[in-house]
Amino acid sequence: MEHFENRKKRILVIGGSSYLGCNILHYLYGKYRLITTYFSHRISIDDVLAIPLDVTNRDALQKLIYTLSPDVVIYSAGLHDINRAQREPKMTDALNNVAALSAASTCEKAGILFIYLSHSFVFSGEGSFYAEKEIPRPDTVYGNSMYTAEYILQKSFSNYLIIRTTDVFGRSFSSHQCSYLEFLENHLMQGKSFYADDQLKNGHVSSLLLGKLIYLCIENNIMGRILNFSSPNALTRYELALLVSEIIGTDSSLIGKKNQTHSHEDVKSALSRAGLNFSLSCKNIEKLFGVTMPTVEEQLYNYYEFHGSKSLSSQRGGKKSIYI
């Protein structure tokens, strides 16, 4: 019989075929016993059980959690296209809020840690480096759906952890979607010109760093709070594109500037104001784990070295930097 203390924790990732979900699965692979769900795009990873699930089917969602009895549930499902969210507010609320809280309620009753992935768009962007204690004031349906879930989780539950991220860059691991980093790489390496927004600033976190931070939270049993995951510096997408071009050694003149363009007028109105900054303060995560959050540039170098040699360690400023 397997000794309890040597048993790998069982982690259920709801929405494993999503961009974030798939990256989380790949990072946690081998560290835990992983189970995931998908809706329309089946995910295939060796030794990872993938189960079809419509998260809006409350009975099926709750039955799955009770049946599998995982140690941790990570909710990465939802509608994350900000323009589509504005066009489909009921669906956005159903996926980002109602289904998430249904899963959280089941986890609460069963004593399971529930991890909810939120985003810095819960804020208006009129400030910068927002702390966890600041009151969100979202200007979009997307941001409001996540803030509602955040608020109810904090008021009604105890076995939860809200991980609020800025933009996450990495691979898509999918044939039906391309990440922004992959878009940049493809265009720059093929010599294709393109435009990138130079108005809206945000922090940026690599998918590797996100996975590492989630792992640290699980291992240290962090719960009952919000944690910001962000770089200590904020860049526009134009500035990020220039940085990627410099690191991979391509022609930066291919990159042109533009202001944010969104297909939905309400989103365009909310996010096209000059000087918006959705960056998050990372002081609490640094204090919690005694680390220094790496800059976007440091993360990119780490990211490319990881995918080349899978071996990297670094020291900065006398503190440990969170690397892989």
Token pair of 39 as six digits:
């809706």
Predicted pLDDT at 315: 36
Instruction: Provide the CATH number for the domain around residue 38.
Output: 3.40.50.720
**Is the per-residue pLDDT at 263 higher than 60?**
no
* pTM of structure: 0.91
* Cβ atoms of 282 and 223 closer than 8 Å: no
The Cβ of residue 286 has, within 10 Å, a number of other Cβ atoms equal to 15
> Do 147 and 259 fall within a single domain?
no
Cα separation, 211 vs 207, whole angstroms: 6
Number of domains into which the chain is organized: 2
> Do 58 and 96 fall within a single domain?
yes
Which residue from 141, 143, 75, 136 is spatially nearest to 105, judged by alpha carbons?
75
| pLDDT bracket for residue 29 (50, 70, 90) | very high
User: What is the per-residue pLDDT across 98-148, written as a single tens digit (0 to 9) for each?
Assistant: 999 999 999 999 999 999 999 999 999 999 999 999 999 999 999 999 999
Average pLDDT over residues 68-93: 95
Instruction: Provide the CATH number for the domain around residue 198.
Output: 3.90.25
> Do 208 and 198 fall within a single domain?
no
Full domain range(s) for residue 305? 180-202+233-279+290-321
| pLDDT bracket for residue 265 (50, 70, 90) | low
> Do 214 and 190 fall within a single domain?
no
Which residue from 277, 80, 268, 273 is spatially nearest to 180, judged by alpha carbons?
80
| pLDDT bracket for residue 270 (50, 70, 90) | low
Predicted pLDDT at 285: 96
> Do 256 and 164 fall within a single domain?
no
Beta-bridge partner residues of 232: none
> Do 221 and 240 fall within a single domain?
no
> Do 113 and 164 fall within a single domain?
yes
> Do 221 and 91 fall within a single domain?
yes
User: What is the per-residue pLDDT across 162-179, written as a single tens digit (0 to 9) for each?
Assistant: 999 999 999 988 777 789
Cα 307–Cα 8–Cα 104 angle in degrees, nearest 5: 90
Mean pLDDT, the chain, integer: 90
Which residue from 64, 87, 61, 91 is spatially nearest to 79, judged by alpha carbons?
91
